[in-house]
Amino acid sequence: DIQMTQSPSSLSASVGDRVTITCRASQTISSFLNWYQQKPGQAPKLLIYAASSLQSGVPSRFSGSESGTDFTLTIRSLQPEDFATYYCQQSYRTPLTFGGGTKVEIK
């Protein structure tokens, strides 16, 4: 299985901060990397697919990038509704696997 290692596991930030979350794949996955946001009691929501493509309806303050097997989700200016847990997921090979999640909390 392809292991996805996310860091940090949690972070505290303030409204307006720039936030960066990293996901590292245990082997090459090309650009088959997706990012999700999950709020308590809700299903995950797709934010970014194919490493850097913004899903329709998602604010442009969210962006994704890649460098080899390292992938980054950036939130340009954190908004109150962005406090949530974020997951990366590889879709290069089955079994599909997720990172452990990053909880973004209010400082």
Task: Give the binding site for other proteins (CB under 8 A).
Answer: 31-32, 34, 36, 42-46, 49-50, 53, 55, 87, 89, 91, 94-101
Q: How far is the CB of 57 from other proteins (least distance, A)?
A: 11
CB closer to other proteins out of 13 and 46:
46
Amino acid residing at 65: S
Q: How far is the CB of 87 from other proteins (least distance, A)?
A: 6
CB closer to other proteins out of 17 and 46:
46
Written as one string, the DSSP assignment of 27-77 is S--TT-EEEEEE-TTS--EEEEETTTEEPTT--TTEEEEEETTEEEEEESS
41 SS3 class: coil
